[in-house]
Structure 1
């Protein structure tokens, strides 16, 4: 029996997060923010390292504020970039992020910010990886609307309570808190829940944090999706089409069924429509308790579906 060669230690991963920060341009289309970092002598997209105990989504919003002075609302996940820095492996996640209120003030991290059309921003960027991320951003149709489809957090065992009234356990309440952070990073303004205690309680931390009430909507209950999937799909599209980002908390059968239906190719029985961007297989969508799907739509067409298995990461 031969012994495999020793390839040395696995490089430590340094995680970071950032975004293509954009705002509508006065002449139509969008313009994106690129920043100059004097200590690196480069022009880049805003990004920074993930702090201990911080999720990637929270990092992206925080780093945007620190480097540009602008608040931001995350949209679709655009890309993950991996490269080596010395002996460390760096992993950077990028979202598209709509700029909110704010203004730029030169600081120790960035001394200049330019708002440019993507075509003008690309040649200014120092790194090929940033240009690739910007190209991925511009490849998507505009504008996109976001809806988050949330699986309820961990609840008491079946039989311990009436099924509709099963409350969250301690681990579920912690999951719900983490989901509140994720929903805040994506700028959620409207909350909907299946009328189960565990679903409503999953959204309560977000409700308190965002100052938004929770509307009960049983169109997304498991039995309702099974009985009338078309009605559930149309209701979800109706919510996604309204102003303001929505989040819907549902259950373990309804969520995968809805994601599969939204991604399906109407001209084929073979599976999802070509061109839908996702980090998971859309023919068999996962739905772990306390997870979320970030769904991005152009009109009524699903463009991207990003599965967030654990909002703490």
Structure 2
């Protein structure tokens, strides 16, 4: 059996890449057969995946969702990350990041500006139509995941709270320490980023800096927020097993969920997640302190066919002033 587990890195900011773009391989299963969505662009007379360049200040995930909606009219939620591709263009090297995205049976609707045709087709037909040979790599990863039963997943998002005011500058109760100005901007950035996975539930520490981190997203989406005492620094220190049990319970579900907590709690969460993935994937977890930066997100994609099994990981860096 082919190995379909995928590890996604943060945005590659290497100097040889001059253009960043993002898109998605939309997929569905009709009569037990996998179909993917291809678009034809009249300007270039080519067949490709829905994709486009990042707008200023936009995250890769936001870009992928936006481009699919603008080009074919499909609102999507991102699934497992797929291999990114690079190829040369006139301004230099272009890097395109892709995700898989399961969609309903809605017919694609080309925008008529850039895209004149959008079709559902088999992976084999897509291989024959794709104009850029590089676009075959994410397709092969998607079909391999389908064959292995790891394409259909739900996301568990682990969030370290945004940047807070320094402990040394705070004299009141630790649970009331608020976000710094940068942290407030990180929380707004997270609001936009999380929209790409639409977690409908948020389990969070009840301390102020965690609540403030997830509040913009929760208010914008009406996501259900649950205060979990064990996710605070103090309660975790007294009984880390409660945190492990919380994560274990979440992994038995199938709905997109976010967890917001503190740096000292992360080792317990990461150790629990590691038990649900291959050793090779576990070795890629951010196991060294600080594990995640303030406002950073780790996403574990959990198999629906095999409840509790994590089949892909990705990390998203926080907003930085």
Same fold (TM over 0.5): yes
C-alpha distance in structure 2 between counterparts of 1:241 and 1:113, whole Å: 37
**2:160 alignment partner in structure 1:** 151
Structure 2: gaps of 5 or more residues? 1-14
C-alpha distance in structure 1 between counterparts of 2:320 and 2:32, whole Å: 37
Decide which of 27, 40, 43 is 2:44's aligned counterpart. Answer: 40
Helix, strand or coil at the partner of 1:167: coil
C-alpha distance in structure 1 between counterparts of 2:192 and 2:202, whole Å: 14
Which has the higher mean CA deviation after the structures are superposed, 32-41 or 118-127?
118-127
**2:95 alignment partner in structure 1:** 91
TM-score by length of 2: 0.83
Cα deviation for residue 282 of structure 1 reads 4.6
C-alpha distance in structure 1 between counterparts of 2:68 and 2:96, whole Å: 14
Cα deviation for residue 213 of structure 1 reads 3.3
C-alpha distance in structure 2 between counterparts of 1:200 and 1:132, whole Å: 40
Structure 1: gaps of 5 or more residues? 1-9, 267-271
Within-5 A mapping of 1:12-161 = 13-23=18-28, 25-28=29-32, 30-99=34-103, 103-106=107-110, 107-140=112-145, 141-158=150-167, 159-161=170-172
Distance 1:209 1:160, change over 3 A: same
Distance 1:105 1:302, change over 3 A: closer
C-alpha distance in structure 1 between counterparts of 2:122 and 2:319, whole Å: 32
Within-5 A mapping of 1:1-313 = 11=16, 13-23=18-28, 25-28=29-32, 30-99=34-103, 103-106=107-110, 107-140=112-145, 141-158=150-167, 159-225=170-236, 229=240, 231-264=242-275, 273-274=279-280, 276=281, 280-284=284-288, 286-298=291-303, 299-310=307-318
1:16–1:90 contact (8 Å) kept in structure 2 = yes
1:79–1:93 contact (8 Å) kept in structure 2 = yes
C-alpha distance in structure 1 between counterparts of 2:45 and 2:311, whole Å: 36
Cα deviation for residue 226 of structure 1 reads 5.3
C-alpha distance in structure 2 between counterparts of 1:160 and 1:62, whole Å: 44
TM-score by length of 1: 0.85
What is the number of equivalent residue pairs in this alignment?
296
Distance 1:28 1:238, change over 3 A: farther
**Which of the pair has the greater relative contact order for Cα pairs under 8 Å at 6+ separation?**
2
2:248–2:272 contact (8 Å) kept in structure 1 = no
1:188–1:247 contact (8 Å) kept in structure 2 = yes
C-alpha distance in structure 2 between counterparts of 1:190 and 1:101, whole Å: 26
C-alpha distance in structure 1 between counterparts of 2:243 and 2:312, whole Å: 19
**1:6 alignment partner in structure 2:** none
Please provide the CA RMSD for this pair: 2.6
Distance 1:118 1:84, change over 3 A: same
Cα deviation for residue 52 of structure 1 reads 1.1
Q: Deviations over 1:127-186 (max 9, x none)?
A: 221110111223331321211111101112223331111111221111001111111111
2:203–2:228 contact (8 Å) kept in structure 1 = yes
Helix, strand or coil at the partner of 1:133: helix
C-alpha distance in structure 1 between counterparts of 2:320 and 2:144, whole Å: 29
2:300–2:312 contact (8 Å) kept in structure 1 = yes
Cα deviation for residue 229 of structure 1 reads 4.9
**1:269 alignment partner in structure 2:** none
C-alpha distance in structure 1 between counterparts of 2:133 and 2:216, whole Å: 40
